[in-house]
Amino acid sequence: MKFRERKHSEETKAKISLAQVGRKHSEETKAKLLDRIRSEQSGIPKVKIEVFDQETGIKTIYPSISEGARALGLDTGSISRYFSRGTIKPFKGRYY
């Protein structure tokens, strides 16, 4: 069964807009929206990564590549390429 796509009239759009004036999102809602936007933008599901820092001897688990990159001050693309190439040597000579 196919559904017909409907479009709102300009009058309806204006009414919807007026109804939203003054409405505030809770912090929880803002966080959920931000998570959804980030996951939709990446097109890649979140994958936990485990990073071992040879210099400090500390192992840290990050909930996603982007969060790991942010915490380590690295580029997300570089980390992704490191994994996709199956590199064995330490990343940046320091991280496993």
pLDDT tens profile 25-68: 889 988 888 888 776 666 666 778 888 888 899 999 988 888 88
In a domain, 8, yes or no: no
CA pair distance 3, 27, nearest whole angstrom: 35
In a domain, 25, yes or no: no
pTM over cut 0.85: no
Domain region containing 63 = 44-68+89-96
> How many domains does one find in the chain?
1
In a domain, 59, yes or no: yes
- Cα 30 to Cα 9, 43, 74, 83: the distances in Å are 28, 20, 26, 31
In a domain, 78, yes or no: no
In a domain, 4, yes or no: no
In a domain, 34, yes or no: no
Q: What is the CA radius of gyration of the chain?
A: 21
